[in-house]
Chain A
Amino acid sequence: MQTSTNGTIISLCKDYGNSPMRLMDVVQAVQAKFGHVSGEAMEIIARQLGTHRVEVQGVVSFYAFLSEQPQGKIVIRLSNCAMGNIGGAQQIGEALEQELGISFGQTTPDSMISLEHTSCIGMCDQCPAALVNDVVVTGLTPDSAREMARKLKQTGDPRSLITQPGEGNNASELVNQMVRNNLRKAGEVIFSDYQPGAALAKALELSPEELIGQIKDSKLRGRGGAGFPTGMKWEFARRAKGERRFVICNADEGEPGTFKDRVILTQMPELMIEGMTLAGYAIGSSEGIIYLRGEYAYLRRFLEATLDQRRAAGLLGKDIGGKAGFYFDIRIQMGAGAYICGEETALIASAEGGRGEPKNRPPFPAQKGYLDAPTIVNNVETFCCAARVAENGPAWFAAIGDPESPGTKLLSVSGDIERPGVYEMEMGVTVTELLAEVGAQDAVAVQVGGPSGQCIGQDKFDNRISYSDLATGGSMMVFGPQRDVLEIASHFMEFFIEESCGFCTPCRVGNVLLKQRLDLIREGQGEPSDIDYLTELGKAVKVTSRCGLGQTSPNPILTTIENFRALYDSKLHEVTDGMQSTFDINKALGDAVRVQGRQPVHFDD
């Protein structure tokens, strides 16, 4: 038994060339095989890969989907994102706990089922949802959750949960999930008709420099959220010195409330791959990587098949599109549950087999990225846009939408609306127009760009969605009058605390402090000076944090203070007794009172 375990791990390491750069794949394979990565396994892996046990532990302990402790054969991961919560994830969690007889974080005594919480899994349009191993279960209710638990106990097979197939490619044999696309509005850039190879054929008529020129002329900006001009990024990478170059597709959308990449990956993967391929041509790269978030593992086989299909069609591999000497191929790198890996340098660190911690910049990835080689990292949607620019020309693209931010934008809209789903809208659309489209006339707050974006109220609904006004990577969460905006802000802070990599102090510590004080205010223990406390602390975290996560994580608090100040004021009160309002003497003495069975004599309440 012991020897065979050793042998299995050694052979898994061999599958990845015993390369420490493939540590992510190795530990995921070990996790899949044994349900955890034990201390012993870490020793073996370290020895095989020529690294150190503690380095392996550093990686295993970083990712939510990896575990040092044994987990059950089946792991139920209930999404506790904002949308899940307003859909009743709490009650669903309780139902699961009852039915399975365990709490979250525990495994049933027969080692069959573990119960975990997880951050947003990209199903906000059909929340509450859970991942059961890699089976996605959506639209959960307490009853259906109980039913699910019973079935799992009976069959021991997550696949048994799949009853009716989803729409589109979700129903294909390679995906076979109940997920719905909910593509509500197709626009002319992403979801219009697509002919495999059409964009490449046009691109290959141009020199790489001319192709980059076209991308620049189109004024395409990155669709991941930061909005960096795509052509400029490609140009930097082309001009950088290096033997190897890499094209990385960031398919790690993790911003709560976003699920647009999921629909592209399901319905338009070839368009995305075509964009990567012409990016490879543009920067002189022969190697592409799709970094796929662990939550979308169910799409992996389908994407692999799509890559094979394109290899067979001469659109990947050698002499692509008949162009002699143009070689480009793509592999898939799986993530393992870490929001921070959507940050491009953290993504690179993770793909290199390490902890998903952002790197210091400079150097920028275009100079020194994956394996220190010039690298471009673009979003799924950006590659699709680039392919369309090559296909239809920069003037065509630049004429769509907003002159300063041309093109369309995929918006993932969820929350208190009639038709949650993906909408391809022209850039420059106002929030009011969007709300009319999705059926949300009574919205009181919209979270634009996810938790790292901003929470706006009705007075800003006439603002436009574009890089110059309301920037968004695509997440739009809509809240009706029945929602507690401060509770949602608190929830988002919890998300950032969970997902901070902890590398830098302001993000690691500051977010915890921010949430603590916000919660005190919510409990009615705040005083007016707490607004200054939150504002100053929030600013310190934003200014001093090392990467985009910390530079935006105070936004749920700062933007609700800005746009929903009255909600805060209604909870604050001046302290008149000279005591610190955040100090609750009843709470502080609670244990003593319980033990002694009497109230302290000097203290009336």
Chain B
Amino acid sequence: MSDTFTFTIDGVEVTATKGQTIIEAADQSGVYIPRLCYCEGLKPYGGCRICTVLINGRPQAACTQPAAPGIEVTNESAELNKHRRALIDMHFVEGNHFCMFCEKSGDCELQALAYRFGITAPQYPYMFPKRDIDATHPDIFIDRNRCVMCGRCVQASRDVDGKNVFQFVGRGSDKRVAVNSEANLADTDMAASDKAAEVCPVGALLRKRVGFAKPIGKRDYDNTPIGSDIESGKSAAQ
């Protein structure tokens, strides 16, 4: 077992395997590091920055940073959580989010993060951008108002589905997700069974006609906060 080693998160020793990132090692040890763009099974992206931790005092994204023997990771600190709250707020004010009308409510990772961090209203002013929706595809709906630029659809389509249906275009605050056609999703080879159709953490990319198949009250984050599944792994281990 020479491929395993240990390091600490908030002073508690955790075990990692060579090649693992901090977030993978933490998950395995039952330590929840808040994250939004990270999605198991996809290449870590590092865009949302919510998983920022301190490694020997230096900020790094836990999803892209490899674990290394003996490093000291700070995850839970007032300072870091303040920055995370700022980042969560930024995701809200950058787009147009209508939690109460969104069929993803209860299953939405951004909303769940806000609840976990006790955010009832963002501290920053809303930007109210004008963004397009695309309902042309028979089975899939894009509402860019709710897009958080996590890149999951881009990656899943490219790396898992092998289709490159999505890509970011523009830059800076003009950045948006575009599709591989002149304008519409309907003109691409996207299929409802694609991995890309299921990875959106928010309600920007939705399958049609299944919105309320799972009733409110039985959704992922209705009863326990986001991250509980990871943390319950910890209590089981102890």
Chain A nearest Cβ from B13, distance in angstroms:
23
0 or 1 for each of B157-198: is its CB under 8 Å from A? (1 = yes): 000000011111111111100111110000000000000000
CA distance in complex: A537, B178 (Å): 30
- B87 and A500: CB pair below 8 A? no
A509 at the interface (CB under 8 A from B): yes
CA distance in complex: A515, B133 (Å): 28
CA distance in complex: A499, B171 (Å): 8
Contact of B52 among A497, A539, A544 (CB under 8 A): A544
A504 at the interface (CB under 8 A from B): yes
Contact of A501 among B48, B166, B171, B178 (CB under 8 A): B171
Chain B nearest Cβ from A46, distance in angstroms:
9
Contact of A546 among B46, B86, B127, B172 (CB under 8 A): B46
Q: Which residues A48-75 have CB closer than 8 A to chain B?
A: 51-55, 57-58, 61-62
A540 at the interface (CB under 8 A from B): yes
A39 at the interface (CB under 8 A from B): yes
| Contacts A52-B180, A506-B90, A544-B52 given; does A513 touch B171 at CB 8 Å | no
- B94 and A58: CB pair below 8 A? no
CA distance in complex: A544, B49 (Å): 6
For the complex, count residues of A whose C-beta is within 8 A of B.
40
Task: Considering the complex, give the chain B residue whose CB is closest to the CB of A362.
Answer: B66
Chain A nearest Cβ from B82, distance in angstroms:
7
- A500 and B149: CB pair below 8 A? no
0 or 1 for each of A492-524: is its CB under 8 Å from B? (1 = yes): 000001111111111011101100100000000
Task: Considering the complex, give the chain A residue whose CB is closest to the CB of B79.
Answer: A543
Q: Which residues B93-131 have CB closer than 8 A to chain A?
A: 93-94, 124-125, 127
| Contacts A506-B87, A582-B125 given; does A54 touch B52 at CB 8 Å | no
0 or 1 for each of A566-586: is its CB under 8 Å from B? (1 = yes): 000000000000000010000
Q: How large is the interface on B (under 10, 10 to 19, 20 to 34, 35 or more residues)?
A: 35 or more
CA distance in complex: A227, B124 (Å): 35
Chain A nearest Cβ from B124, distance in angstroms:
5
0 or 1 for each of B42-83: is its CB under 8 Å from A? (1 = yes): 001011110010000001010011100000000000000011
| A interface SS class | helix
- B44 and A58: CB pair below 8 A? no
Contacts of A545 in B (CB 8 A): 49
Contacts of B83 in A (CB 8 A): 539-540, 543-544
CA distance in complex: A540, B125 (Å): 16
CA distance in complex: A402, B169 (Å): 46
| Contacts A53-B181, A582-B125 given; does A508 touch B172 at CB 8 Å | yes
| Contacts A543-B83, A546-B46, A546-B61 given; does A54 touch B166 at CB 8 Å | yes
A338 at the interface (CB under 8 A from B): yes
CA distance in complex: A510, B164 (Å): 29
Using a CB–CB cutoff of 8 Å, the interface residues on chain A facing chain B are 39, 51-55, 57-58, 61-62, 338, 340, 355, 360, 362, 497-506, 508-510, 512-513, 516, 536-537, 539-540, 543-546, 582
For this complex, 20 residue pairs linking A to B, each with C-beta atoms less than 8 Å apart, are: A55-B164, A360-B64, A498-B172, A500-B173, A502-B168, A502-B173, A504-B47, A505-B47, A505-B49, A505-B87, A509-B93, A513-B93, A513-B125, A536-B86, A543-B52, A543-B83, A544-B49, A544-B52, A544-B87, A582-B125
10 new A-B contacts, CB < 8 A, other than A52-B167, A506-B87, A544-B86, are: A54-B169, A500-B172, A500-B173, A501-B171, A505-B149, A510-B86, A510-B90, A543-B52, A543-B83, A544-B52
